Structure 1
């Protein structure tokens, strides 16, 4: 099973560690594309802070992120699984998984990124700021840029098993599975159920969505579940105690009442 994850906007600092080595990252077929985006981002952030802040969609309070981007080639790195923080990653708790679950995570998790395309949790990267929805001046929209490059590497990365797509829309735009691969790709939507006036109401809530996806992924990794089809994934999640419905063949709804 290959699991596709979004990154987090907030990132832990590298503190100590060797500088970036693009050639050492997973999916080496993306190296040239990563070099292109990195060059563009570093040049933008080194030349004009105001323009960079506008392009990257950063508030005045995040102006300091621009200087960090300008130093990406020399900044210290950490494994991507330690760099990405936030609700989903807090709920996933990579650092507290047992040894077997950590091995499964290293093999099966792929984190999508506006800067790197996609990385494994063991890939060493610096903290950065560049969302998947950004349009860089010399490249254009990163979604369109990455789709062609990801099409060339993802079929091999996906192998022959299930693909579990937990990405948010901005990062789902970086690569879309096609054909036979699309048929074995499952997406998960988290719905919060509330009783209002005696009637059940279901809504999509961002915090519930991220936390529940992190928790269910942790459960799958801990239990060593390896479903081969979207239907088998639904069964595996039910066995783990989740309320799951299947509104379509490749779509699963996980229903939660509280965080």
Structure 2
């Protein structure tokens, strides 16, 4: 099973791993695109105003540009530890046992505007680049990533569970993936997609799927695994699921 997570704009600082080695990341076929984007971000960081404009940052976020300037030399840490925010708080990778962490690193992957996709244990530095960015000399990232990333993800034979947000799903379509929508249900059974707290619920589901001893193999297994974790997950099609929001 491969669970695709969205990344986060916020990332933990520091790390104790060696500098970025693109050959150490999953799906080495993506290496040329990754290298080009790293080179572009490092070069762009030399021009602070241009970087702020391209990355849609304010002057108060200049430290994010400095992170990009140091991409090649900065220390790394596993992707599941690097990304922070609501979804990753709910995932709580830091609270996993060593066995659970091992499963999470194998089963979870994070969509990335810079790296395409990284496995949970892949060592990466802190960086700033969003799926909606358009870089000088490169253009829209969707046009860069789709030709490279879609063929790679299409070869994943395992069950793929897609929890990505819209902007990151647009970087590569995965037609055979099972998609998950977070919903609420009123007293008449009408369902409405949830935007607020969407990430927290996906984080809880990702934790359940990542840490269960028996790896889910199909939609029915996904529903059972979620139920065991106290989550209500319901199939709405062959490759579509509704995850019901619960009170915090």
Name 1:27's counterpart in structure 2.
27
Name 1:75's counterpart in structure 2.
74
Name 1:255's counterpart in structure 2.
244
The answer to whether the 8 A contact 1:101-1:222 is kept is yes
Q: CA deviation at 1:225?
A: 4.0
What is the SS of the residue equivalent to 1:206? coil
Once the two structures are overlaid, the 10-residue window that deviates more, 225-234 or 86-95, is 225-234
Q: CA deviation at 1:39?
A: 0.8
Name 1:37's counterpart in structure 2.
37
Name 2:178's counterpart in structure 1.
186
Q: CA deviation at 1:58?
A: 1.1
Q: CA deviation at 1:125?
A: 1.1
The TM-score normalised by the length of structure 1 is 0.88
Q: How many angstroms apart in 1 are the aligned matches of 2:186 and 2:49?
A: 44
Q: CA deviation at 1:76?
A: 1.5
Q: How many angstroms apart in 2 are the aligned matches of 1:125 and 1:222?
A: 22
Q: How many angstroms apart in 1 are the aligned matches of 2:29 and 2:21?
A: 14
Q: How many angstroms apart in 2 are the aligned matches of 1:17 and 1:107?
A: 19
Q: CA deviation at 1:40?
A: 1.0
Within the candidate set 152, 162, 167, 2:164 is matched to 167
Q: How many angstroms apart in 2 are the aligned matches of 1:16 and 1:103?
A: 19
Q: How many angstroms apart in 2 are the aligned matches of 1:41 and 1:221?
A: 32
Q: Deviations over 1:7-54 (max 9, x none)?
A: 1110001244421111221211111110011111111111x2112111
Q: Deviations over 1:150-170 (max 9, x none)?
A: 1332234x22x3110010011
Alignment pair present for 1:243 and 2:211: no
Q: CA deviation at 1:230?
A: 2.6
Once the two structures are overlaid, the 10-residue window that deviates more, 69-78 or 126-135, is 69-78
The answer to whether the 8 A contact 1:194-1:257 is kept is no
1:257 to 1:24, Cα distance in 2 relative to 1, 3 A: closer
What is the SS of the residue equivalent to 2:45? helix
The answer to whether the 8 A contact 1:87-1:207 is kept is no
Q: How many angstroms apart in 2 are the aligned matches of 1:228 and 1:206?
A: 28
Structure 1, unpaired ranges of 5+: none
Q: Deviations over 1:132-177 (max 9, x none)?
A: 1111111111122111111332234x22x31100100111111112
Q: CA deviation at 1:246?
A: 2.9
The answer to whether the 8 A contact 1:192-1:208 is kept is no
Q: How many angstroms apart in 2 are the aligned matches of 1:15 and 1:244?
A: 36
1:188 to 1:77, Cα distance in 2 relative to 1, 3 A: same
Structure 2, unpaired ranges of 5+: none
1:152 to 1:202, Cα distance in 2 relative to 1, 3 A: closer
Within the candidate set 195, 199, 205, 1:210 is matched to 199
Once the two structures are overlaid, the 10-residue window that deviates more, 82-91 or 99-108, is 99-108
Q: CA deviation at 1:202?
A: 4.6
Q: CA deviation at 1:226?
A: 2.5
